[in-house]
């Protein structure tokens, strides 16, 4: 058993989650791998045990199912070995808003928003009490870009960014590190599952490169890591423009521009 904190990774059977599992295993961390596909989890676990010499536990769970989600929450609350949560599980949904029925919209929100927030909520009190731990939330640049036309998916990822920034402000002073990772198009199975052809996209990052870049941000203690963004000053300017509005939100009266129908 490693002396380093164990890492619980959701959506770990493939793509970004599997790459995180691989990288943390090679850093010497024991793992708890969570996903729906037990066979793929077992295959990944066997490889990482053999190649990295770490302990790997399997937790088969569908995070849209309340009983399964509750089991993962309990593991995070009770297992003091787990010191890092990688909230990666997510889906994109088929087509645009008019192509998605109410049940599909609900399941997308259940996975991308509800499960992610509940898992963070399950582990945060323990981390804060111990004065350590890390929560990594996988968002998306789509959460910054309604122009991409993925309304529900983008809204869920905007939530991930907001939650991460809010938790940074609340938990950071308690010693808990919170990171939001915002990938752009990455070569994972999410595209096939959402009925899109990844090869038709103009620019696609390989998953290993994405996770390696995200871990550079992790090691630097970044609150928001955007691996595909070449100029960090653009994000800084964006965030500064948002912050500059804050003093103007507290007003007794509506702004002058809204006091006339003209």
| Residue 9 pLDDT | 98
Query: Residue 31 gets which letter from DSSP?
Result: E
Angle (CA) 62 65 70, round 5°? 90
Determine the average pLDDT of the residues in 10-15: 96
Determine the average pLDDT of the residues in 144-172: 96
Q: Provide the mean pLDDT of the chain.
A: 94
Determine the average pLDDT of the residues in 25-39: 97
Q: Which residues pair with 4 in a beta bridge?
A: none
The DSSP code sequence of 235-250 is: HHHHHHHHHHHGGGS-
> pLDDT band for position 196 (50/70/90)?
low
| Residue 191 pLDDT | 61
pLDDT at 122 over 70: yes
What residues are labeled active site? 153
Element spanning 72, H or E: helix 66-78
| Residue 209 pLDDT | 96
Angle (CA) 103 108 114, round 5°? 110
| Residue 185 pLDDT | 84
| Domain range 6-258, CATH architecture | 3-Layer(aba) Sandwich (3.40)
pLDDT at 194 over 70: no
| Residue 130 pLDDT | 98
pLDDT at 262 over 90: no
Least confident of 113-127, 180-194, 225-239: 180-194
- Sort strands 177-181 and 31-35 into parallel, antiparallel or unpaired: unpaired
Determine the average pLDDT of the residues in 158-185: 97
Q: Which residues contact 16 (CB under 8 A, 6 or more apart)?
A: 88, 138, 183, 186, 188, 207, 210, 211
Determine the average pLDDT of the residues in 190-207: 75
| Residue 195 pLDDT | 63
Three-state SS string over 144-203 comes to: HCHHHCCHHHHHHHHHHHHHHHHHHHHHHHHCCEEEEECCCCECCCHHHHCCCCHHHCCC
Structure tokens at 121: 């909520």
pLDDT (tens digit per residue) in 51-106: 999 999 999 999 999 999 999 999 999 999 999 999 999 998 878 899 999 999 99
pLDDT at 171 over 70: yes
């Amino acid at each position: 058993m490693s002396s380093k904190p164990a890492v619980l990774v959701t959506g770990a059977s493939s793509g970004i989650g599997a790459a995180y599992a691989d990288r943390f295993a090679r850093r010497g961390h024991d793992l708890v791998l969570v996903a729906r596909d037990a066979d793929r989890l077992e295959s990944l676990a066997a490889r990482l045990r053999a190649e990295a010499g770490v302990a790997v536990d399997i937790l088969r769970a569908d995070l849209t199912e309340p009983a399964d989600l509750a089991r993962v929450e309990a593991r995070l609350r009770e297992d003091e070995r787990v010191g890092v949560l990688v909230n990666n599980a997510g889906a994109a949904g088929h087509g645009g808003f008019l192509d998605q029925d109410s049940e599909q919209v609900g399941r997308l929100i259940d996975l991308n928003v509800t499960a992610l927030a509940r898992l963070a909520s399950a582990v945060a009190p323990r981390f804060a009490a111990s004065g350590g731990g890390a929560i990594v939330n996988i968002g998306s640049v789509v959460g910054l870009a309604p122009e991409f036309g993925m309304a529900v998916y983008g809204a869920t990822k905007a939530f991930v960014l907001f939650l991460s920034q809010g938790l940074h402000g609340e938990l950071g002073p308690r010693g808990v590190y919170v990171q939001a990772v915002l990938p752009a198009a990455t070569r994972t199975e999410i595209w096939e599952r959402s009925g899109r052809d990844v090869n038709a996209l103009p620019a696609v990052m390989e998953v290993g490169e994405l996770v390696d870049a995200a871990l550079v941000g992790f090691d630097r203690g970044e609150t928001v890591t955007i691996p595909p963004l070449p100029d960090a000053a653009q994000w800084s300017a964006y965030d500064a423009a948002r912050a500059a509005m804050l003093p103007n939100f507290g007003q007794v009266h509506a702004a002058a521009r809204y006091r006339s129908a003209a």
